[in-house]
Structure 1
């Protein structure tokens, strides 16, 4: 039997800041999670998204160091329509999160935008463009 994909884990510097960002994107994360060293939510379809503080990671991997340079992972959130891409991007940037790429109509047929979460991970917003 082959392993089955189950979890995406994010290592975060400030858990409450990271959870606040993902709550703005609609993830149902209880407020009590802000004080935990490890948090998980089950996403639609079954996979889980987890957050661990740097201290938690170093508790079992003392040599762990944060990556540098550009993010190597991107999480993508599907929006209902192109207007929602614009609205969510504006909401996140207005709340102080880093807008990396303003919404644009991509050649592959989607409205697309990129923001960075508090730890610099790429979070992509997309929706199908109307067909003509």
Structure 2
């Protein structure tokens, strides 16, 4: 986390050993990190990449309903689901699709607090 803090990512001090960490840039862009154990908690088939980079993109859709809508629209357009929408233990509604190159692209939103 120290590397990303030096790059201007705001990460709470108590997040160094957390299984899921969100950091925010000044423009509101959110970066997130998960441990391999956290990923395997919802994607049991996950295998760490070999010989490539370890990155996935996540798009905050603003609401759980918007995650579901975006996910459905992309599936209807012929893109591939990797993890169907679900409520993550870190307080977000989440879904993962694969881009045409096989990269994970997450859609997420804070869970409703009601």
TM-score (norm 2): 0.54
List runs of 5+ in structure 2 lacking aligned partners. Answer: 1-5, 8-25, 30-48
Number of paired residues? Answer: 74
Residue equivalent to 1:127 = 109
> 8 Å contact 1:71–1:121 — kept in the other structure?
no
Structure 1 residues 96 and 71: CA distance shift in structure 2, 3 A: farther
List runs of 5+ in structure 1 lacking aligned partners. Answer: 6-43, 48-66
SS at match of 1:131: coil
Deviations 1:47-74 (A, max 9, x none): 9xxxxxxxxxxxxxxxxxxx87997210
TM-score (norm 1): 0.47
Runs of 4+ in structure 1 deviating by more than 4 angstroms, as ranges, are 67-71
Residue equivalent to 1:116 = 98
What is the RMSD computed on CA atoms of the aligned residues? 3.1
Structure with the larger RCO, 1 or 2 (CA within 8 Å, 6+ apart): 1
Structure of higher CA gyration radius: 1
Residue equivalent to 2:18 = none
